[in-house]
Every structure is written in C-alpha cells, then in structure tokens.
Chains A and B, each alone.
Chain A
Amino acid sequence: MGGYIIKRLGQALIVVLLVTVLVFLLIRLLPGDPILLYVSGDVVSGAVSDEVIADLRREHGLDRPMYIQYVNWLWQILHGDLGKSIFLNDTVVNEISRAVPKTVMIGSLGLLLAVCLSIPLGVLAAVRRGTWIDTLVTLLANSGITIPVFWLGIMLIQIFSLQLGWLPTQGYTSVFDDFGAGVKSLILPVVCLSVVPLCALTRQTRSSMLENIRMDYIRTAWSKGLSEGLIIMRHALKNSLIPVVTVFGLMARITIGGQILIETVFNIPGMGRLAVEGLQNQDYAIVQGVVLVIAIIVTGINLIVDLSYGWLDPRIRNN
C-alpha cells in the first residue's frame, strides 16, 4: 500500500507540473500585456515613460525568455514564494493564503453536506423502492440536478436574506473570528453549492444500491437470518459505494468550478474570485499560483478517490 501511494504521488507531481507549464504558456499567449494594462491610466495622462515600463517589466521578471521565467518560477516555489502580484501590491502567497481558507471551507462543507444527505436518501429510496418515498426522492434528485447554481443563489438571497432577513446577503466571516456570524455567512453558499452533488450522489447511491440488493450474496445474507438493517448497512452499502465514489470525485471537481459562481454571487473573496480577477487583469503570477493550488487540490481528491476504491473493493487492493 505504501509503495502504491508513493507511486501515485509521483504521478500526481508530474500531472501538476504539466498543468503549470500549460497555464504558463497559455496566459502568455493571450493577447494583451499586464504591465501596459497596469499603467494604462497613467500612459494616457503621459505620466509614465518607457523606462518606467521597462523597470516594471524587469521587476516582475517579464523581460527574460519564457523558459527562464518558468524555471525561475519553479525555483521560487521551492522557496515558498509564488511571486508578486502586479496589481494587488502583495505577494501571491499572501493573497492565496487569505483566499484558500474561505474556498476550502465552503467547498468541503458543501461536499460534506451532500455526502451526509445523499447516501441515506439514496439507500432509503432503494430499500423502499416503488413507494412514495422513492418517488419523492427520485423526483427531487432528478429536478435538483438541473437547477442553475447562479439562479439558486439569487433566489436564496431573495428569500432568506432580503425578505426574511435571517441571513446576511453577502460577504464572509470566519467562524474563528465570530462563530455565530461565521455560520450564518456560510449557510447559503454551502447549501447552494451542495445541491448538484447532493442530487447526483443520491441518484447514484439509489441505483447502485438497487443493483446490489439483487445480488446473490444479499440472498445469502437473508438466508443466514440477518435483519434488514444489517443486510443493508453491512452487506449492500459497502459494495454499492464503489460507483458512488466515482461520482464523488467528479462532483468534487465540478464543485471547484461552481465555487467561482458562488463566490461571485455571495461576494466572497475566495480562490474563485482571485482567479477571475487575476485573469481579467492578466496578472500572471496570481493566475499561475491559483492554478497550481487548484491542481494540487484536484490531484489530492483523485488520490483519495483511488485509495477509497482499494478500501471498498479488496479485488483492487490485491492487484
């Protein structure tokens, strides 16, 4: 197992590196120049000379050949430095470490909520197949998955913040600073983010439970005299979770994209917002930093998904 993890980590490192190369290239191939963009106001007023621009370029290392820039960037990373933002007047590391906790908090709570609700719901629907419970759960899951996150966010703000006034309309408060306000500021974004994974995971849990309940080994379990609860929880669930984990991995990746919308709707200064602003400004260092962090998170999720296959399915573990 240890060897396997090391091998997978090695693979993940290669993938992350490739992603950074790609981003490094792509953002530089986009039309436009961040330095010119940065000084554009001043250029019109005639306040900056070509020397100033050249100085700025040198300061951000943009005057060197592209591969040198990349090697330098990698070298910096090894020293815990992701460069300096052109626009924000701060280091990328500082910017990202302010944004990451918000994004990770909302993302993981959203996924956690989805998992905690979807598995019991999916199991319940499967076990009570054909009853009104099943019909209701299936209907909700099928319709919920089609709701646009953006629209849902606005509706939730309308109802719970503007009309009922229970929750803040926007912004983010850390639970470590003010627990009550923190929780309140989290509720809407988290709920909003969890809807799609919740529905997808419920559907998958239901269908894979239905498939497993029909298996021969479940009949064996019944023939041993076990109770329905034990049969579901001990025998059927674990094997049913294998395809659910696959969908979870997919949903986790989709959720990262969903965060951009959520952070815009709720005006939360997280990674999504940072990425969008960075792209708009062509702030190379910011975009590179954000993509690096996201790539690491995604490969981390993939690794966890793969390891849980091994835990769930001994046939994979032994290979």
Chain B
Amino acid sequence: MKAERFDKTKKVLDVQNLRTDFVTDYGLVKAVNGVSYHVNEQEIVAIVGESGCGKSVGLLSALQLIPVPPGKFVSGRIMFEGRDLLRLKQNGTEMRSIRGSKISMIFQEPMSSLNPGLTIGFQMTEGLMLHLKMDRKKANKKAIELLGRVGIPDAEKRMNDYAHQFSGGMLQRVMIAMSISCNPKLIIADEPTTALDVTTQAQVLELLCEMVREFRASLIIVTHNLGVVARYAQRLYVMYAGRVVESGTSKEIFSNPQHPYTIGLLGSIPRLDDSDDASLVPIKGAPPNLIDLPDSCAFYPRCSHRTDACDQSRKVEMRHVEGEHYAACHADVQVKTITELKKKDTQKRPIDKKAEPLVVIEDLKMQFPIRRGLLQRVVGHVNAIDGINLKIYPGETLGLVGESGSGKTTLGRCISRIYEPTGGKIWFEGQDIVKLPEKKRRSLTRKISMIFQDPYGSLDPRQSAASIVGDPLKIHGLVKGGKEYKERIEELFGLVGLHPSMMGRVPHEFSGGQRQRIGVARSLACDSSLIICDEPVSALDVSIQAQIINLFVELQEGISGLTYLFIAHDLSVVKHISSRIAVMYLGRIVEVTDSKTIYKDPLHPYTQSLLASIPIPDPFIEQKRDHSVLQGEIPSPLNPPAGCTFHPRCPIADQKCKEGIPSLATVRENHEVACFKA
C-alpha cells in the first residue's frame, strides 16, 4: 500500500494552557494547572509522572470526560480540527461525535473498564453502529474482523462472551480493537499496561503501536514506566504536581535531562543494563497533594538542586533548552550522566558461596484441591509447585521472577509455612520445617518473615505502629522489661527511616511507602534471618519504590546474615537488588544463576523472552534492541502442557520437548537450567 502523504509537523491535538480544578471538601484541587501539550500526525507521544500528578485529568479533559461538578474546566484551549473542544457543550451531540470516533481512549484496568453485564460483541459494535451508522449485521462482521486482527482466537465465538471470561491481556486487546474501530485520528491510552504482566505488557504495547501505524493514527500514551517511553515514544512530557515540568523528544530528554524531577525519576529506576555497582538515587520525600499549591516551583521541597534563585514567590516558566526541549526550572542544572550519578562507592558484599545454605528446598510440592459443586467435592488438584529444588545462602538476596500464576507467591508461602506443603523438604537451620511439629517449629519460623505487596492489608488497622512493630518482641520474649522494649522499638523505627514521633499513629495515617517500612521494621523485630518479600514495591510510585529498595539494600549491608527472598514481576528491580535469580514457570524453576549472568547470558528461552520484553529506559539502546515478544499466555496449572511445559510458547521447541520433561541441570558453575537445548 502506498503511504498517504502526511505532515509530520501538523498538530492533531493542541492543548494550550489547560486548567482543570476539582472542588472537594478539603479545598480546591488544581489537578491540571496550566498545561500545554500537543501531538502531531502519526506521532507517538508519552506523558510520564508519578500517580496523582494530573496525567489522566489532563487527557480526560481533552474530551471533557471529567464529571462537572466536582470538576471544572477553568481555562485553556483544546484545538482539534480547527475547533476549540472546550467550547463545545460537555455531553452535547458535537462533543459526542468526536468521542470514540475521532479521538478514542484506552484505560488502565481492562477488567473494570468493560461492562461486566454486556457481551464483548455488544460493546464492540456499539461504537460502529453509532458513529459509522452500520446496521447490526455489518457491525458484527466488522467487530469479528477487528477482534481477529488484534489476535483474539475464535473471534466469532468470543463475541458472545463477557469480560470475566477473558484474561487481562486479552481484554486490553479487545479495548484496542474497540478504540481503533472507527478509524480515529488520535488514540489516548491511559496506562494501558500497568496492570499486566511484563510479557503481556510487551505484547499489548507492540500491538497498540502496530495498530496505530496501520490506521495512521496518533497516540498519546500515559505511563510511569520510563522504559516504555524509551521504546515507543518519539516525544515526551514529564508532569509534576499538575504541571508539565519538562518536554522534548525522547532522545533529548533521556540524554540531557534538565529538570531535577526528571533527573530524579531516571535516578530512581533500576535498569536491566545497570552495572553491578549501581545504586538508586531516589527523590527524597513524597509527591505533594495538589491542594493550595504555591505558584512557585512545586518541586522545591524535594529538590536537591534548589538555589536561592528558586525563591518561593517566583513563578517558573518553561525555559527553552534546545530544539524542542523545554524545562520549567530556574537553575541551569549541569548533572553528571545518570550512570555516573548511580555509581556507588561501596561494593556489594561478596556472597560466601562456600557457606552452608540457610535454606535448602528439596523436591517441594504444593497441590491445591479443586472443589466443585454443592458438596464441595474434590474433583482434581492444581500443582502450584511441582518439584522445586533451591538453595538460599545466608546474606544473599535471591530474586524470584516469572509471570503471575507461575507459583512465586505459593513458594514464598510454603517456605514461611503459611501453606502446608504437600511434599518435599525445606531445611532451615538444619531442621526440616515441613515435618517439624507446630510447637518446635514456632521458634524457628519466627526467623522467617514475610512482607507483602499491599502493606495495608497485612497490618491491623486499629493497632498503633509501635505495637505492630513491638508485638513480636513481646510474643517471642525478645526483650526484658519496658525500658528495653521502648528502646528497641525506637531503634527499629530509626533503622527503617521512620520518625519516632509517628509511633502512635495507626496504619491508615501512613503513606504506602511508610507502611511498607513498618512491615520491614516488624520483620526486623522478629530477628528474622530470612525475609520473604512478595512484590514489596510493586504498588509504590517510582520515587518511593527507590527509597524502599535502598532501605532493603542498606539493611542488608548493616545486618550481617540478613537474607532476602525477593519476589517481583519486574525483572529490572529484581536484577538490581538480587545477587542470584531464580526464574519460575508453571510451578518449576527453569533457570538459576547470579544476576549478572542472567542478563548477560540467559540460557533458558523463557528467561530470554522475559528479558526481551523489558524495555530499557534509554531510547538509543531501545532503537537497537530486538522487540520480538513472547507469544501466548501462561497456561493454567490445572492442565499443564505435556513435556517441557514451556514448549507451546517456545520459539525453538522441537519434538523432543513435547515428550520429555527437562530437569534442572548444572550447565556451568553456578548456572542451572531446565532446557534440552541449553
């Protein structure tokens, strides 16, 4: 097909000086406070920033999709096809004729963004019938064609299914099909892959960009993943506290970040290609709430570059840096490169590999019964953990990665004995804690504690922080007398970076990051030698995430023998913090080696695919990387494939893989792989 001629500099959407407020009980929230952004024809533009900085409101305002009240479009212009969309009546015919037809949207949580009570087919055809005036028959035909195009198998049959019958990745494909269905000029995707697994995330993003190219649309993508920006976006806006603080082409901003917030974001994120001695440079503090913000630089309280010139009363204007690059900062910040910035003076403590392992897991199995019917009869078993052998050495951090449903959480819970394993052994300090009777086990398993993704759910909402942290001291009799108790709690608070004045507060009075610190303090109170961290930073914003990761690292440096089993789906985080990494797939370990080797020389095809699906926050590197993505989804452990369970998705599988099960074998020193071809 001959490419239509288009003007790369012609603006499709041009938002100027937009202000959107919310009137709340607590005060006026200036969610979007004088923001300008535009997107050119067939361009992919990204908007980044931590949660609550106004990204979504800025985009929803473009289509007047903010409920009024409490929202209010205060000022600004939204130019689209020669008209100012802000002047149209909010839900009038003209505004509605643009929504979903010329500008369409994709949202974050695909499951909740689709109507649970209507079929996918119905929701697909709604737009077609409304905007393209198709009749039901034609719309159905077109919808089936589109669903097939975005990779929904059996599209015709699945038209009659409901959202809950699809996986998250599949639903996001449906959303993409829906958004593209009326040939829009612009698609706005608001964190389209945040809720998805890394591999699915890569699949969905590749598909989205492919569709945007094919339909010659433009794309605005909101994300907090700078890697995604580097991989896909040509231009970038960084938002903070309701304002754009830096904008420019991705290459300009990544190679020469000017705003201290952008620098802070780049310093906060671990990268797959970070050197071994890299450490994170988090932004201190937390993002502000947007009530009663001053006109001066909102980043001032957290900024490490602030000078006298950043006088509180001065309004910050966008300053031209070069080309299309602008930054809203008074100072002319000359920073070292991010790599230099992240360089650490101290080296990681070398792991003594000859030491006796702290934990030895032998042929561990965990079966869950599946119950059906009125009488809850057991009709089968899920092998959530299917024969795992693993050693954890004292003082190391063992990372555990794999797609969700691969059994990581289950393994963590077996080790901490929340679950009763159905087979195998777990040796901890010379005793098999699977067999040990409850009473004897208690004093041992005290030394194994867990930290969860959602700190709020795991803390008693009525208990004060001090007693949450102090309870284990009392229960296990680790302190003598009230004075020692108090001193120990203060010490623990200090260790995890909480101010002692916060001891009387209850969990909801803390932020997410602070709650995670309380969880860590509680684990330390037990004198744990092994802390199992299950996705401990996944729910946190990047700057906070970096603070907590650094806390983990510092504690390990300070407390001899402190060992982590670190479970996360974000391989860059795991690689940053871990000394060794185990990769899991469908209840088995498929590869174990040290974290440097995992990145440099992965041997299992699954590990290779996981790595390829993780974008590196550097557009120059991403340009050269192969973006082929792992196909398909992780099968249900109820009914795993025969032979090597990875074979249906493996690009190099052959007949042998369908028949035999590869066992985890040492291929090289400190490198074990379960693959026939490794």
- CB within 8 Å of B: which residues of A? 215-217, 219-228, 234-235, 238-239, 312-315, 318
A224 to B130, Cβ gap below 8 A?
A: yes
Within 8 A of A (CB), among B101-123: 101, 104-105, 107, 109, 112-118
Give chain A residues whose Cβ lies under 8 Å from the Cβ of B131. 225
Smallest CB gap from A7: residue in B: B374
Question: Which of A215, A223, A314, A315 lies in contact with B99, CB distance below 8 A?
Answer: A223
Residue among B109, B114, B127 making CB contact with A225, cutoff 8 Å: B127
Cβ of B71 to closest chain A Cβ, rounded Å = 13
Residues of B within 8 A of A (CB): 63, 65, 91, 96-101, 104-105, 107, 109, 112-118, 126-127, 130-131, 162, 164-165, 178
Q: Are B116 and A225 interface neighbours, CB within 8 A?
A: no
| Known A216-B112, A217-B116: A222·B65 in contact at CB below 8 Å | yes
CA distance in complex: A270, B227 (Å): 74
Judging by beta carbons under 8 Å apart, are A235 and B115 in contact? yes
Interface residues of chain A: helix, strand, loop or mixed (majority): helix
Residue among B99, B109, B130 making CB contact with A216, cutoff 8 Å: B109
Among B104, B116, B127, B131, which residue has the most Cβ atoms of chain A within 10 A? B116
Give the docked Cα–Cα distance between A123 and B114 (Å): 21
Which residues of chain B have C-beta atoms less than 8 A from A314's C-beta? Answer: 116-117, 162, 164
Whether the pair B100, A224 counts as a contact (CB closer than 8 A) is yes
Query: Could you give 18 example pairs across A and B, Cβ below 8 Å?
Result: A217-B114, A217-B115, A219-B113, A220-B105, A223-B104, A224-B99, A224-B100, A225-B99, A225-B101, A225-B127, A225-B130, A226-B100, A226-B126, A234-B118, A235-B115, A235-B118, A315-B162, A315-B164
C-alpha spacing A22/B136, complex, angstroms:
56
Cα(A221)–Cα(B113), bound, Å: 9
- Contacts A215-B112, A223-B104 hold; do A238 and B117 have CB atoms under 8 A apart? yes
Q: Given the complex of chains A and B, what is the CA–CA distance between A217 and B109 in angstroms?
A: 10
B113 to chain A: which residues have CB within 8 Å? 216-217, 219-220
Q: Max chain A CB contacts within 10 Å: which of B96, B114, B115, B178? A: B115
- 8 more contacts with CB within 8 A, not counting A219-B65, A223-B107, are A219-B113, A223-B63, A223-B99, A224-B130, A225-B98, A313-B117, A314-B162, A314-B164
In the assembled complex, the CB of A126 is this many whole angstroms from the nearest CB of chain B, namely 13
Q: Given A225-B97, A225-B131, A220 and B116 touching (CB < 8 A)?
A: no
Tell me which residues across on chain A come within 8 A of B178, comparing CB atoms: 224
- Closest partner residue, chain B, to A220 (CB atom): B113
Residue of A nearest to B161 (CB): A314
Of A219, A220, A312, most B-chain CB atoms within 10 Å:
A220
A216 to B115 Cα, complex, angstroms: 9
- Least CB distance from A224 to B in Å reads 4
Nearest neighbor of B372 in chain A, beta-carbon distance: A319
User: How far is it, in angstroms, between the C-alpha of A238 and the C-alpha of B96 when the chains are bound?
Assistant: 23
A227 touches B107 (CB 8 A): no
Task: Give the Cβ gap from B154 to chain A, nearest Cβ, in Å.
Answer: 17
Alpha-carbon separation in the docked complex, A219 to B107 (Å)? 9
Give the one of A217, A238, A318 with max B CB within 10 A. A217
Q: Specify the chain B residue showing the minimal Cβ separation from A315.
A: B164
The smallest beta-carbon distance between B112 and chain A, in angstroms, is: 4
Query: In the docked arrangement, what's the CA distance between A221 and B126, Å?
Result: 9
The answer, among A219, A221, A315, for a CB contact under 8 Å with B116, is A315
Q: How far is the CA of A222 from the CA of B100 in the complex (A)?
A: 9
State the CA gap A204–B164 with chains docked (Å).
25
For the complex, what is the distance from the CA of A318 to the CA of B162, rounded to whole Å? 10
Complex CA–CA separation, A234 to B123 (angstroms): 10
CB of A222 within 8 A of CB of B99, answer yes
> Shortest beta-carbon distance, B119 to chain A, in Å?
8
Report the bound CA distance from A189 to B178 in whole Å.
52
Q: Whole-angstrom distance between the alpha carbons of A223 and B130 in the complex?
A: 13
- Kindly list chain B residues whose C-beta atoms are within 8 Å of the C-beta of A217: 112-116
Q: Are B99 and A227 in contact (CB under 8 A)?
A: no
Residue from B96, B99, B101, B115 in contact with A239 in the complex, judged by beta carbons closer than 8 Å = B115
Let me know if B112 and A239 touch, CB within 8 A: no
Residues of A within 8 A of B109 (CB): 216
Cα-based distance from A225 to B126 in the complex (angstroms): 10
Closest Cβ neighbor of A242 among chain B residues:
B117
Q: Are A220 and B107 in contact (CB under 8 A)?
A: yes
How many angstroms between the C-alpha atoms of A277 and B112 in the bound complex? 55
| Bound Cα distance A222, B60 (Å) | 11
- A226-B130 in contact (CB<8A): yes
Q: Which of A215, A219, A225, A234 has the most CB of B within 10 A?
A: A225
Residues of A within 8 A of B104 (CB): 223-224
A233 to chain B, nearest CB (A): 12
Shortest distance from the beta carbon of A312 to any chain B beta carbon, whole Å: 7
Contacting residues, chain A, for B105 (C-beta < 8 A): 220, 223
CB distance from B388 to the nearest CB of A (A): 32
Closest to A236 in B: B115
Given contacts A239-B116, A239-B117, contact A225 B96 (CB under 8 A): yes
Q: Is the CB of A227 within 8 A of B96?
A: yes
In the assembled complex, how far is the CB of residue A55 from the closest CB belonging to chain B, in whole angstroms? 50
Query: How far, in whole Å, are A246 and B130 apart by their CA atoms in the complex?
Result: 34
What is the CB-to-nearest-CB distance from A30 to chain B, in angstroms, rounded to a whole number?
36
- From B63, B91, B104, name the one whose CB has the most chain A CB atoms within 10 angstroms: B91
Contact of B165 among A224, A227, A234, A318 (CB under 8 A): A318
Q: What is the CA–CA distance of A219 and B115 in the complex, to the nearest angstrom?
A: 10
Nearest CB of B to A154, in Å: 44
Please, which residues of chain A bring their CB within 8 A of the CB of B118? 234-235, 238
**Residues on A with beta carbons closer than 8 Å to the beta carbon of B165:** 318
CB distance from A237 to the nearest CB of B (A): 9
CB pair B65 A216 closer than 8 Å: no
User: Bound complex: CA of A258 vs CA of B114, how far in Å?
Assistant: 41
Nearest Cβ in chain A — how far from B146, in angstroms? Answer: 14
From the candidates B96, B112, B114, B117, name the one contacting A226 in the complex (CB within 8 A).
Answer: B96
A210 to B162, CA, bound (A): 23
Interface centre among B101, B112, B117, B118, by most chain A C-beta atoms within 10 angstroms, is B117
Residue of A nearest to B92 (CB): A227
Q: Which residues of B contact A215 (CB under 8 A)?
A: 112
Q: A157 to B114, alpha carbons, bound, how many Å?
A: 51
State A225–B96 Cα separation when bound (angstroms). 4
Q: In the bound complex, how far is the Cα of B115 from the Cα of A220, in angstroms?
A: 9
- B127 / chain A contacts, CB cutoff of 8 Å: 224-225
Task: Tell me the bound Cα distance from A239 to B127 in angstroms.
Answer: 20
Which partner residue on chain A sits nearest B122 by CB separation?
A: A234
Chain A residue at minimal CB-CB distance from B112: A216
Ranked 3 nearest A-B pairs via Cβ: A224-B100, A225-B99, A225-B100
B98 to chain A, nearest CB (A): 7
A239 to B114, CA, bound (A): 12
Are B107 and A216 in contact (CB-based, < 8 A)? yes
Whole-angstrom distance between the Cβ of A246 and the nearest chain B Cβ? 16
In angstroms, Cα B165 to Cα A224, docked, is 22
Residues in chain A near residue B101, CB distance under 8 A: 225
User: Complex: how many Å from CA A221 to CA B130?
Assistant: 12
- For the complex, give the distance between the alpha carbons of A233 and B311 in Å: 54
Point out which of B98, B100, B109 has the most chain A C-beta atoms below 10 A from its C-beta.
B100
User: In the complex, which residues of chain A have a beta carbon less than 8 angstroms from the beta carbon of B98?
Assistant: 225
Which of B65, B115, B117 makes the CB contact (< 8 A) with A223? B65
Nearest Cβ in chain A — how far from B183, in angstroms?
Answer: 14
B116→A313 contact, CB < 8 A: yes
By a CB distance below 8 angstroms, the chain A residues around B99 are 222-225
* Shortest distance between the CB of A317 and any CB in chain B (Å): 9
Q: A222-B65, A225-B130, A225-B131 in contact; A312/B112 too (CB < 8 A)?
A: no
Please give the distance in Å from B350's CB to the nearest CB on chain A: 49
Are the CB atoms of A220 and B114 closer together than 8 Å? yes
CA distance A218 to B547 in the complex (A): 37
Give the CA-CA distance A217 to B63 in the complex, in Å. Answer: 16
Residues in B with CB closer than 8 Å to A220 are 105, 107, 113-115
The residue on A at minimum CB distance from B164 is A315
Q: Could you tell me the distance in whole angstroms from the C-beta of B634 to the nearest C-beta in chain A?
A: 22
User: Taking the nearest CB of chain B, how far is it from the CB of A228, in angstroms?
Assistant: 6
User: What CA separation (Å) do A122 and B91 show in the bound complex?
Assistant: 22
Residues of chain A lying within 8 A (CB to CB) of residue B100: 223-226
